[in-house]
């Protein structure tokens, strides 16, 4: 976070929070559970995690999550599945254009550089 002149805190543009959001999805565990939960304005929201063949969610009761938390978890699962399938179109839907990926080695990549490496198998 960066403090602006008016004292407000602001997240710098281009900072990748992917390790916080997406890395856990690759080790998340979903025991094939389908969660039909959250009735908001009489609309039942269905989060079917069984469609993700590479994601497993364990250690949490999905019914205890808020709609926002479920949305985030579902998008993280979608991202991991898309990465496994090399589905760059879905990854583009999820990741903003100005995203910068910073790897453990310190290497930095734009969204398109990162996606190219996923597509050609350099990153898995």
Query: What are the CA-CA distances from residue 70 to residues 8, 47, 65, 80, 115 (Å)?
Result: 29, 8, 6, 15, 25
The model's pLDDT over 8-34, given as tens digits with 9 standing for 90+, comes to: 544 444 333 333 333 333 334 333 334
Residue 123 lies inside a defined structural domain of this protein: no
What whole-number distance in Å separates Cα of residue 97 and Cα of residue 76? 17
Q: Counting Cβ atoms within 10 Å, is residue 122 exposed (0-12), middle (13-18) or buried (19+)?
A: exposed
The model's pLDDT over 73-82, given as tens digits with 9 standing for 90+, comes to: 999 999 999 9
Beta strand spans in 1-99 (E): 2-3, 9-10, 34-40, 43-48
pLDDT of residue 116: 96
Enclosing domain of residue 32: 2-118
Q: Number of structural domains, the chain?
A: 1
Over pLDDT 70: what percentage of the chain?
63
**What confidence tier does 36 reach under pLDDT thresholds 50, 70, 90?**
very low
Residue 28 lies inside a defined structural domain of this protein: yes
pTM reported for the whole predicted model = 0.62
Residue 39 lies inside a defined structural domain of this protein: yes
């Amino acid at each position: 976070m960066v403090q602006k002149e008016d004292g407000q805190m602001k997240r710098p543009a281009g900072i990748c929070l992917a390790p916080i959001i997406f890395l856990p999805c690759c080790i998340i565990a979903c025991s094939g559970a389908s969660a039909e939960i959250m009735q908001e304005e009489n609309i039942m929201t269905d989060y079917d995690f069984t469609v993700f063949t590479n994601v497993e969610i364990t250690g949490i009761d999905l019914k205890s999550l808020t709609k926002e938390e479920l949305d985030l978890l579902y998008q993280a699962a979608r991202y991991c599945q898309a990465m496994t399938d090399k589905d760059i179109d879905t990854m583009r839907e999820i990741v903003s254009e100005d995203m910068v990926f910073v790897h453990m080695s310190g290497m930095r990549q734009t969204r398109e550089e990162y996606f190219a490496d996923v597509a050609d198998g350099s990153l898995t």
